[in-house]
Amino acid sequence: MATFVYKYPRDGNAMPPPCKHANASEQEGKPRAREGERRRGKTRSKEGEEERRKEMAADIGYYWLVAIPVRVVLGVVLAVITLVVIVVVAFIVFVCATNFRAWWRSPRMRLLRLGGVTTLRRSLSYPCTICRDSMEAGEKVRTLSCDHVFHCGGTVKCGFGIDAWLLAGDAMSWQSCPNCRQVPHPVLPWKRPPPSSPAPSSPQTSDSDSEEELLFPSHWFDETLPEFVLKGVVTN
């Protein structure tokens, strides 16, 4: 059997030769350490997976128990607020449209749109049918669409003139012209000059009809015109 003889170097600093038993134990311990590390890694990975599952379960529980109900409540509240705003806006628009329509169709607004109001530059050769007085230069008159001319506005002779006559009807209807019984319409141009000669009345009206045309409505005597105007109409 051959023997191994280790010769030490002369400097005396060399390490002793490695032991065969130590090398064998080290080689056997390395696989065990690796196996232990693998097991510890698997254990850690399992623990990490369990922690992640718990976190996901907590997130899912929070989502279903907190996030979704809060979102549902917020959605319902926003939907109700939006619906209320839409209803309020629609109601306001409806009220404004109704009021505007009533204002636009009111007798005073229709009278304003009627037009035909001018100031006479010369006297007319025929009298006003309402007051039976002459229409002098400088007085304000209104020419209707049927070419009949009357005093307009507040005057000493005729009081409120044709405007009060037209406004004496119902809230949604017009009084007709005192001469021809035609319903007046807006005239063009806006300041229409009166004709130089009186326009003919309706051929279908008789003397009795013309007398009835000059009569004022029954509710017009309730302080609608001054007393002296009514007396002048009755006496004439």
152 forms bridges with which residues in the sheet? 161
- Specify the pLDDT at position 174: 64
Is the Cβ–Cβ distance between 141 and 131 less than 8 Å?
no
DSSP type of residue 174: -
Residue 215: how many CA atoms within 13 Å on its side-chain side?
Answer: 9
For residue 122, give both structure tokens. 């010369």
Alpha helices, DSSP H only, in the chain? 20-62, 68-104, 107-114, 161-167, 207-213, 227-235
Give the model's pLDDT for residue 90: 96
pLDDT tier for residue 84 given thresholds of 50, 70 and 90: very high
**Mean pLDDT on 32-60:** 68
pLDDT tens digits, residue range 15-29? 555 555 555 555 555
| pLDDT, tens digit (0-9, with 9 covering 90-100), for 171-204 | 555 678 888 888 888 887 666 677 766 766 654 4
Reduce the DSSP state of residue 32 to 3 states and report it: helix
Give 122-145 pLDDT, tens digit per residue: 888 888 888 888 888 888 888 888
Instruction: Tell me the CA distances in angstroms from 100 to 86, 90, 108, one per residue in order.
Output: 21, 15, 13
The span from the CA of 227 to the CA of 92, in Å, is 44
Domain boundaries, the chain: 45-105, 109-168
**Closest listed residue to residue 229, CA positions, set 150, 117, 147, 113:** 150
CATH entry, 109-168, from 3.90.1200, 3.30.70, 3.40.50, 3.30.40: 3.30.40
> Can you give the length of the chain in residues?
236
Q: Which residues have C-beta within 8 Å of that of residue 230, sequence separation ≥ 6?
A: 216, 221
Q: Which are the contacts of 194, defined by CB distance < 8 A and separation ≥ 6?
A: 118, 120, 124, 135, 141, 143, 147, 149
Q: Which residue has the higher pLDDT, 77 or 51?
A: 77
Average pLDDT over residues 147-151: 86
**Token representation of residue 67:** 């996030």
